[in-house]
Amino acid sequence: METIWIEKDALAEAASLLKKGEVVTFPTETVYGLGADATNETAVKKVYEAKNRPADNPLIIHVASIDQARAYAQEVPEKAEKIMAAFWPGPCTIVLKKQGPLAATVTAGLDTVGIRMPNHPIALELIRLTGKPLAAPSANSSGKPSPTSAAHVAHDLNGKIAGIVEGGETGVGLESTVLDLSDPSQPTILRPGGVSQEEIEAVIGPVRFKTNVGHQSEIPTAPGMKYTHYAPVEPVMIVSEKGLGWKKAIEIAQGKGEVVGLLAFDHTIRQYADEQTISFSLGENGDVISASQRLFKGLRYFEDTEATIILAEPVERAGIGEAYMNRLEKSAASTFI
């Protein structure tokens, strides 16, 4: 299939493809999404196919207004009303009991649905023009780092999808927070993201945090939790303060003949880069907003270099730092050195 590039002022063309049941990728404030009409079974199946996404990992539906969201939830509990009022449009997905004419594969057969209203003019306009909620997972091949630019999307999906709407680099750089409110007495963060636990608790009070599947036999609440994620070609290792430290970690890797990629803040790169290392900056020392924006881009960057291993810098687990560490740990299969 030929993948066509669509300028942001030609969204009617993208909407017309979506209405015909085709798959089109578009920018959101988090990462690029791979969109399909969420009410069209055939269209939604194409999303799973293009991404090679496991069929039991449900998709988030994207709406252009709070009213549109109501049509797909059996009920909207008060806590959900408060979350929508506080964070929509924005990077917070809520999981509610589903209703309405959604394709069964969108929710992977669950009786709940993840819904969010993205904070991006192109995404909102495209949903409005299509007149349907858009099922839209991150527009990467399953298992790869999520795309923060149209070029990343093309790298993974060119020839497999009908269109790519070009909209520059994304702002947040990490995916939305997934907040399960299907049982409002037990609000649970299934995935940390662009809106922090602290921010959510300021609005609805205490929430539980569920990041990892405990035992193999346990059924994961966010089905996505059990799969390999965000992994570039090279192995990733997180250089923690309590571990080897940068100097030693680089020495050992180079001693084994590795070409080291440094995914780190400027000051770390200034201190430890040498003629043999390859660097990608996360930004100024400790700037977690910038680190979040650049993480996926950085992980992808090394694929086109000689690097054979990536040494990555952790951040403090506060605010969006929690989401950054969640993604980095998954890309590194939790390898700290």
Give 31 or 207: the residue with its C-beta nearer to Mg ion. Answer: 31
| Residue 149 or 281 with smaller CB distance to ligand AMP | 149
* Residue showing the smallest CB distance to Mg ion in the complex: 138
The amino acid occupying position 99 is: Q
Angle at 107 between CA 188 and CA 76, to 5 degrees: 50
Q: Which does 167 bind (CB under 5 to 8 A by kind): ligand AMP, Mg ion, none?
A: none
Tell me the closest approach of the beta carbon of residue 24 to Mg ion, in angstroms: 17
d(CA 258, CA 252): 9
- Any residues with CB less than 8 A from the CB of 5 and at least 6 apart, and which? 150, 163, 164, 166
Closer CB to ligand AMP, residue 113 or residue 253?
Answer: 113
Instruction: Report, in Å, the least distance between residue 140 CB and Mg ion.
Output: 6
Which C-beta is closer to Mg ion: that of 138 or that of 326?
Answer: 138
- Cβ pair 265, 282 in contact under 8 A: yes
CB-based closest residue to ligand AMP: 224
Binding-site ranges for ligand AMP (CB under 6 A):
57-60, 95, 107, 110, 112-114, 137-138, 175, 178, 190-191, 221-224
Contacts of 309 (CB under 8 A, 6+ apart): 234, 235, 236, 237, 253, 258, 259, 260, 261
The structure tokens 């922090």 sit at 196
From ligand AMP, Mg ion, none, which one binds at residue 141 (CB under 5 to 8 Å depending on kind)?
A: none
Report the residue number, 138 or 182, with the smaller CB distance to Mg ion: 138
Which residue intervals of the chain are DSSP H helices? 11-19, 41-51, 66-70, 78-87, 121-130, 150-157, 197-204, 246-255, 266-272, 288-301, 321-331
190 binds, among ligand AMP, Mg ion, none (CB under 5 to 8 A by kind): ligand AMP
Which CB sits closer to ligand AMP, 190 or 307? Answer: 190
Q: What is the CA radius of gyration of the chain?
A: 20
Residues in touch with Mg ion (CB under 5 A): 138
Apex 222 CA angle, 299 and 145, nearest 5: 10
Minimum Å gap between C-beta 103 and ligand AMP is 13
95 binds, among Mg ion, ligand AMP, none (CB under 5 to 8 A by kind): ligand AMP
Closest distance between ligand AMP and the C-beta of residue 138, in Å?
4
84 binds, among Mg ion, ligand AMP, none (CB under 5 to 8 A by kind): none
